[in-house]
Structure 1
Amino acid sequence: MRFTRTSKALGIAAIVALAVTGCGGSGGGGGQAGADPNKVITAYSNEPQNPLLPANTNEVYGGRVVELLFEGLRAYGPDGKPVNALAESIETADSQNWTIKVKSGAKFTNGEAITAKTFVDSWNFAALSTNLQNNGFFFESIEGYADVSAVKETKGADGKTTSTPAPKAQTMSGLVAKDDSTLTVKLSQPEADWSLRLGYSAFYPLPSEALKDPKKFGENPVGNGPYKMAKETGAWVHDQSISLVKNPDYNGPRTPKNGGVTFKFYTDPGPAYTDLQGDNLDVTDVVPPNALKTYTTDFPDRNATKPSANNSTLNIPGYNPNFQGEAGKLRRQALSYAINREEITKVIYNGTRTPAKDFTAPVLDGYTDSIPGNEVLAFDPAKAKDLWAQAEKIKPYDNSKPLQIASNTDGGNKEWIEAVANGFKNNLGINAEIQPFAKFAEVLNLRKAQNLPGLTRAGWQGDYPSLYNFLGPVWATGASSNYEKYTNPEFDKLLKEGLAAKTPEEANAKFNKAQEILFQDLPGLPLWYRATPIVWSNNVVKAETGWNGGILYYNIEAK
């Protein structure tokens, strides 16, 4: 890794301290005896929500493909620490003005050169509001972002907010390509850990053809990562599979140990588990709930589990009349007290989940289980009933139909949602039920359109190892994954102050202070942290997950 800086040690200390702690895992290394470096492995997945554009992909099933097809200025090792990839160096003297040297000779698989201008064009494309890229919010720190991302918001009679792109500029003023190899970035304020984000997919470079016809490109993307689409057309068979093969020209930190990855799409983890037992599927990160007590014996020496930067929440749309105003605030608290997180994580998840104490994850630097207000995460039926009764005195609950909880069924969510629904019925006297969807993408589309009739399951897998990454993109006003449109100026202010902090300790203190606001408002209910169990077939030597629970597909060796 080469990370240079012309100021004192503050920037390096910030990067190191913000790197994830407590997550082991090996990186590259030589292949094991009997491994076939050219064999293609098959992996569990589901249909991506959108065409495969890095800046428009912010869900796990599309993300796992994009991360293998592309590479950015940095990459994250299995332990979450960043290493330079396409960046020769990243320098700053004041944490606000950054100079990035791009390695020479890098190309996309179509032969197009990757230069500093490539990054300028790609990032401006991602941030421009008329391009409707989900991950545009990740460029919020760059000077001029507010002008290119501007939207006009109108509220309808139903209380829902509609956003219409209204950019005041086409490019960010803080982003300049000085020459083919030199990129300068000016932030709107100093941020010591800004370069930590540069390994996330939103910052990946795009070839010129992607900017000309994004929709067409997204169906058959051309990247620069360790893998490429298996063939020019037909590699993505919608609702069935996506096939990738090793990129022979790749020369980065994630060298593949296999010949390719074929993602097979399932709408139920049960058949996938059966396929694994019959060696008809090679690896999965979704173990059915009914197998969580047996997977270690079903797959002896072919399983792994470790804590990761991963969490689950139950989100409450602010546009739902039952949860608005003072009565709504009391009901949010009542719902939280009515959930027996301890029992669900033990009985349904067999200890592969642990009850949440905050909105982030314990493996991150700065995590604390003592955020003021987090007592609302305790199971207290009496407290839940009392709060619900108080809300009823203010405004009666509309119990004309069951409270629906939207969820995809492919991820093994049915069992825990039924347990939560029973808790609501037994402790609050309201009927609740799952609103099932075969694809995770369908749930996201419903959330994005603000058409949820009730609640929704949600969660976050870290993009880069920082408390902020679990707060800003999810809960900040206008953030890319803030589908339920939560907004609180004080929360936003604390996040901004945290980003501008001079030390990691000061930054984390601000981020945790911001969490106090979340516990007051409860736009979502933290449920549990996830330790992702994975299992693999007899066709695989070994598999492992990285710092955020994602399988390191490039590191899988096949027999």
Structure 2
Amino acid sequence: MTFMKLNLRAALLLGSLMIGASPALAEMVLHRGNSGEPQTLDQSQTSIDIEAFIVKDLYEGLTVYDADGKIVPGAAESWTVSDDGTVYTFKIRADAKWSDGSPVVAEDFIFSMRRVEDPKTAAGYANILYPIKNAEQINKGKLPVDQLGMKAVDDKTLEITLERPTPFFIELLSHQTALPINKASFEKNGADFVKPGKLVGNGAFKLAEHVPNDHLTVVKNENYWDAANVKLDKVIFYPIDDQAANVRRYEAGELDLVYNFSSDQIDRLRAANAKQVHVTPAAATYYYPFDTRTEPFNDVRVRRALSMAVDRDFLAKDIYNGTKLPVYSMVPPGLETYGEPAKPDFAGMSQLDREDKAVELMKEAGYGEGGKPLNIEIRYNTNPNHERVATAVADMWKKTFGANVTLMNLDISSHYAYLQEGGKFNVARAGWTADYADAENFLNLSVSSNKTFNYGHYENPEFDALMKKSYEERDPAARSKILHDAEALIMRDQPIAPLMNDANLWLVNDKVKGWGDNANNEHLSKYLSVE
């Protein structure tokens, strides 16, 4: 009888201990609102931030950005640079492994980057690796892929030779295009290598489930070299491009993070909990490209007139509640290696004077009052803020020129796919966030050979020559002068109308720890936890 009482007491004690321990054993899950469905999880094909947020959780490059947006070692624990700045030697971590347990080796990066430069891959971002020796020639079909300037000294030592010194090369290697893929999985599964159950990554998480337009789930990768310091067990990305729905689900406690929300909600959200509203100035530009292949947008006078008639102060203050800044330059301010961006000659005019000059230019081109009718379609990706901007710009052009302006919107994936695949348009909404903190990253968008991101198909041999010269110039001051001269040409010709500098808008629940605001908008889930 005594023995049975002792056993019963022990069982009750064990049960109470298990109940007390259950919160500590509970799965730690982060729910991320991600603003849209990714077009792809293939590193060679990604181009927008909502894809980068996911693939950078699944794969790790040689370098990564930390929570504060500073570049730090990733899969490479260290590196050295030759005296002439053209040879980088990376030491890959001894304990770096793929999610299937196999070691990450130098050949993995060589295989992946050769694939990006292989013209058969048709990688939209192949040009980002052009600093590597022979990369551009390979991508243009002039050399075989085995001529790429990369060599495995041994399994854990990777040597990369550049065409010329590239000050931003370490930052560039954190871009998703430079992420490795698992050769064995790719050769076995082909295009399906990005699917759950087949994707083998080397990042802090691995892909568990992907239900398009509903959710994508990643779980902790137990084979990740720093798994001991990864606190989250699971991250669920929700591709919600309806910003109002995002905010509702956040306020209902269903989402811990929300990327992008309607700026007209800022005051209300701040009043409810100011600490949870994160508005961070970004190295990013909001702009309207013109399709220079079609009339009348092939006329520089028309493009300049349309750009001059846009009241950027109104867009930034009245539509975005001061969360963006009005700009007239493609390169955002604040880049240390560049300084003050180049501006068009009309930037210093008052808005009224700009409008008067714009009417003169438009009449000179034969459009507007007394001339040919001006029909314009503005395309934008579905988003209430973008709709408000497009509506406001349409009204400005109607009042200034008597233009007939219509609007067309598509979801974010379809919108950018249409532009990147060369679809014809009149005017389109676009945004560019720095891949690395250098003016070249913004100016390269207008190089004629950039078939993916030169949406308006602008061609100017003088501009192309200056950009080429900038790659060959090693003196920082001289290089900056060349880039300023190149930007001045774009601002003169207005193939794009820069409108505002962006801000990164996030809602971050108080229970999310490890968050860091940064202009690069880099937020790896490996640094986060949930209380």
Structure 2 CA distance, aligned partners of 1:524 and 1:35? Answer: 54
- What is the DSSP-based 3-state SS (H/G/I as helix, E as strand, rest coil) of the residue aligned with 1:190? coil
Question: Which residue in the other structure is 1:175 paired with?
Answer: 150
Contact kept? 1:35, 1:541, Cα under 8 Å: no
C-alpha distance 333-483 of structure 1, shift in aligned 2 (>3 A): closer
Question: Which residue in the other structure is 2:238 paired with?
Answer: 264
Question: Which residue in the other structure is 1:481 paired with?
Answer: 453
Q: Superposition pairs for residues 136-285 of structure 1, below 5 Å?
A: 136-150=126-140, 166=141, 168-208=143-183, 209-211=185-187, 213-220=189-196, 221-229=199-207, 231=208, 235-252=209-226, 256-285=230-259
Question: Which residue in the other structure is 1:291 paired with?
Answer: 265
C-alpha distance 104-541 of structure 1, shift in aligned 2 (>3 A): closer
Correspondence 1:517 to 2:489: yes
User: What letter is aligned with 2:342?
Assistant: I
Q: 1:403 aligns with which of 367, 372, 376?
A: 376
Contact kept? 1:399, 1:430, Cα under 8 Å: yes
Structure 1 CA distance, aligned partners of 2:468 and 2:373? Answer: 40
Q: 2:98 aligns with which of 94, 108, 115?
A: 108
Question: Which residue in the other structure is 2:32 paired with?
Answer: 43
Correspondence 1:331 to 2:302: yes
Question: Which residue in the other structure is 1:506 paired with?
Answer: 478
Q: Superposition pairs for residues 321-360 of structure 1, below 5 Å?
A: 321-324=295-298, 328-360=299-331
In the TM superposition, residue 298 of structure 1 has moved relative to its aligned partner by 2.9
Structure 2 CA distance, aligned partners of 1:474 and 1:515? Answer: 10
C-alpha distance 119-290 of structure 1, shift in aligned 2 (>3 A): same
- What is the DSSP-based 3-state SS (H/G/I as helix, E as strand, rest coil) of the residue aligned with 1:346? helix
Per-residue CA distance 1:240-273 (angstroms, 9 max, x = gap)? 1111122233335995443332111223101111
User: What letter is aligned with 1:531?
Assistant: A
In the TM superposition, residue 392 of structure 1 has moved relative to its aligned partner by 0.8
In the TM superposition, residue 474 of structure 1 has moved relative to its aligned partner by 5.6
Structure 1 CA distance, aligned partners of 2:278 and 2:90? Answer: 38
- What is the DSSP-based 3-state SS (H/G/I as helix, E as strand, rest coil) of the residue aligned with 1:435? strand
Pick the structure with more helix per residue.
2
Question: Which residue in the other structure is 1:528 paired with?
Answer: 500
Deviates more, 1:241-250 or 1:314-323: 241-250
Correspondence 1:387 to 2:361: yes
TM normalised by structure 2 equals: 0.87
Question: Which residue in the other structure is 1:364 paired with?
Answer: 335
Question: Which residue in the other structure is 2:45 paired with?
Answer: 56
C-alpha distance 255-363 of structure 1, shift in aligned 2 (>3 A): farther
Q: 1:491 aligns with which of 463, 466, 476?
A: 463
In the TM superposition, residue 222 of structure 1 has moved relative to its aligned partner by 2.2
Contact kept? 1:191, 1:501, Cα under 8 Å: no
Deviates more, 1:330-339 or 1:355-364: 355-364
Structure 1 CA distance, aligned partners of 2:84 and 2:372? Answer: 55
C-alpha distance 62-481 of structure 1, shift in aligned 2 (>3 A): same
Q: Superposition pairs for residues 80-119 of structure 1, below 5 Å?
A: 80-87=69-76, 88-119=78-109
Contact kept? 1:42, 1:282, Cα under 8 Å: yes
Contact kept? 1:292, 1:349, Cα under 8 Å: no
C-alpha distance 475-63 of structure 1, shift in aligned 2 (>3 A): farther
Question: Which residue in the other structure is 1:162 paired with?
Answer: none
Aligned-residue Cα RMSD (Å) equals: 2.8
C-alpha distance 551-190 of structure 1, shift in aligned 2 (>3 A): closer
Q: How many residues align?
A: 502
C-alpha distance 195-553 of structure 1, shift in aligned 2 (>3 A): closer
Structure 2 CA distance, aligned partners of 1:199 and 1:514? Answer: 26
Structure 1 CA distance, aligned partners of 2:186 and 2:67? Answer: 30
- What is the DSSP-based 3-state SS (H/G/I as helix, E as strand, rest coil) of the residue aligned with 2:145? coil
In the TM superposition, residue 299 of structure 1 has moved relative to its aligned partner by 2.8
Structure 1 CA distance, aligned partners of 2:92 and 2:291? Answer: 43
User: What letter is aligned with 1:201?
Assistant: Q
In the TM superposition, residue 280 of structure 1 has moved relative to its aligned partner by 1.8
Deviates more, 1:417-426 or 1:285-294: 285-294
User: What letter is aligned with 1:375?
Assistant: F
In the TM superposition, residue 285 of structure 1 has moved relative to its aligned partner by 2.2
Contact kept? 2:258, 2:508, Cα under 8 Å: yes
In the TM superposition, residue 352 of structure 1 has moved relative to its aligned partner by 0.2
Structure 2 CA distance, aligned partners of 1:242 and 1:448? Answer: 25
Structure 2 CA distance, aligned partners of 1:433 and 1:525? Answer: 18
Structure 1 CA distance, aligned partners of 2:413 and 2:488? Answer: 31
User: What letter is aligned with 1:406?
Assistant: R
How high is the sequence identity, in percent, across the aligned residues? Answer: 23
Structure 1 CA distance, aligned partners of 2:487 and 2:228? Answer: 35
Question: Which residue in the other structure is 1:375 paired with?
Answer: 346
Correspondence 1:433 to 2:423: no
In the TM superposition, residue 300 of structure 1 has moved relative to its aligned partner by 3.1
User: What letter is aligned with 2:203?
Assistant: G
C-alpha distance 63-541 of structure 1, shift in aligned 2 (>3 A): closer
Q: 2:60 aligns with which of 71, 79, 83?
A: 71
Per-residue CA distance 1:140-196 (angstroms, 9 max, x = gap)? 12222233212xxxxxxxxxxxxxxx5542333422223212322222233344333
Structure 2 CA distance, aligned partners of 1:556 and 1:54? Answer: 23
In the TM superposition, residue 424 of structure 1 has moved relative to its aligned partner by 0.9
Correspondence 1:455 to 2:444: no
Contact kept? 2:469, 2:482, Cα under 8 Å: yes
Structure 1 CA distance, aligned partners of 2:426 and 2:215? Answer: 31
- What is the DSSP-based 3-state SS (H/G/I as helix, E as strand, rest coil) of the residue aligned with 1:147? helix
Per-residue CA distance 1:364-400 (angstroms, 9 max, x = gap)? 2144445252535863211111111111179x98647
User: What letter is aligned with 1:359?
Assistant: M
Structure 1 CA distance, aligned partners of 2:399 and 2:24? Answer: 54
- What is the DSSP-based 3-state SS (H/G/I as helix, E as strand, rest coil) of the residue aligned with 1:72? coil
Structure 1 CA distance, aligned partners of 2:489 and 2:260? Answer: 33
Contact kept? 1:110, 1:222, Cα under 8 Å: yes
- What is the DSSP-based 3-state SS (H/G/I as helix, E as strand, rest coil) of the residue aligned with 2:125? helix
Deviates more, 1:425-434 or 1:465-474: 465-474
- What is the DSSP-based 3-state SS (H/G/I as helix, E as strand, rest coil) of the residue aligned with 1:512? helix
Is there any run of 5+ residues in structure 1 with no aligned partner, and where?
A: 1-33, 151-165
Structure possessing the higher radius of gyration over alpha carbons: 2
In the TM superposition, residue 203 of structure 1 has moved relative to its aligned partner by 0.9
Correspondence 1:121 to 2:111: yes
Deviates more, 1:510-519 or 1:178-187: 178-187
In the TM superposition, residue 442 of structure 1 has moved relative to its aligned partner by 0.4
Is there any run of 5+ residues in structure 2 with no aligned partner, and where?
A: 1-22
Contact kept? 1:130, 1:167, Cα under 8 Å: no
- What is the DSSP-based 3-state SS (H/G/I as helix, E as strand, rest coil) of the residue aligned with 1:299? helix
